[in-house]
Amino acid sequence: MTALIVVDLQVDFMPTGMLPVPEGDRVVPLANRLMPHYTTVVATQDWHPADHGSFAANHPWRKPGQTIDLHGLSQVLWPIHCVQGSWGAEFVDQLDTDRVSKVFWKGTDPTIDSYSGFYDNGHRKSTGLAEWLRGRGVTEVHVLGLAADYCVKYTVLDALREGFDTVLIEDATRGVELAPGDVARAIAEMRTAGARIVQSQDLSLVK
């Protein structure tokens, strides 16, 4: 069984959002087109408390884009984004969310960030995604969404670690690109770790 993982298609990651991903909106129609071809679709939602340690605003004299040590882990600081219950944390309006069987929240612990849909950045706590997928007989996952160089990358790497056959749908992702080349490097890293990198038109659907 193959599942589709839709990563963080939320208002704040759209080009007009608080943590804009260039062309992030281009991914939404592709997600809508692909979802009906999978019996299992899950979505992740970045879901931070207002006091989250990844927000530059919670660290006096720090700016977005800077890196700090957050409780022993290297942490890039971000603008305030995806605050629980806020408009920016909602899935984008145009996304067909009735196709989503289950939503997994991440980044809820203020002391640690969580890029992957499976674990926090210290691999301390599971979101339950791997167990849930295995319980449904899923052995292969296809991943799309935002952002290619953060949450998509770490979701793909954790899926591989968890033993899933893992496919990145390359044209259905976009990156933040804090540094030019970050997306290309992220894709190379995913490929080296064992992910298959495909274009949506090359997928043989139905799954």
Residues labelled catalytic = 8, 106, 151
CA distance 145 to 111: 25
Cβ atoms of 33 and 203 within 8 Å: the answer is no
Tell me if 150 contacts ligand VGL by CB under 6 A.
Answer: yes
β 102-106/67-70 pair status: unpaired
The CA distances from residue 141 to 43, 108, 135, 166, 183, in Å, are 12, 24, 14, 5, 20
Taking the complex as a whole, the smallest distance from the CB of residue 132 to ligand VGL amounts, in Å, to 20
If one asks whether residue 149 binds Zn ion (CB under 5 A), the answer comes out as no
CB atoms inside a 10 Å sphere around CB 139: 12
67-70 and 73-76 strand pairing: antiparallel
Supply the minimum distance, in Å, between the C-beta of residue 73 and ligand VGL.
Answer: 14
Q: Least distance to Zn ion from the beta carbon of 86, Å?
A: 12
- Quick one: what does residue 47 bind among Zn ion, ligand VGL, none, with the CB cut-off 5 to 8 Å set by partner type? none
Applying CB under 6 A, does 46 fall inside the site for ligand VGL? Answer: yes
Considering only residues 74-113, where is the footprint of Zn ion by CB under 5 A? 107
Stretch that binds Zn ion, among 39-47, 91-99, 163-171, 188-196 (CB under 5 A): 39-47
**Beta-strand pair 40-46/73-76:** unpaired
For the chain, the first-to-last Cα distance in angstroms comes to: 7
For residues 9-38, which are near ligand VGL according to CB under 6 A?
13, 19
Binding mask 65-94 for ligand VGL (x = CB under 6 A): -------------x----------------
The interface mask with ligand VGL, positions 110-149, x = CB under 6 A, is: ------------------------------------xx--
Spatial contact of 147 and 13, defined as CB atoms under 8 Å apart:
yes
Q: At 127, phi and psi to the nearest 5?
A: -85, -10
Question: Could you say which of 41, 56, 151, 187 contacts ligand VGL (CB under 6 A)?
Answer: 151
Among residues 11 and 147, whose Cβ is nearest to ligand VGL? 147
Q: How many CB atoms lie within 10 A of CB 202?
A: 9
Report in angstroms how near the CB of residue 1 gets to ligand VGL at its nearest. Answer: 26
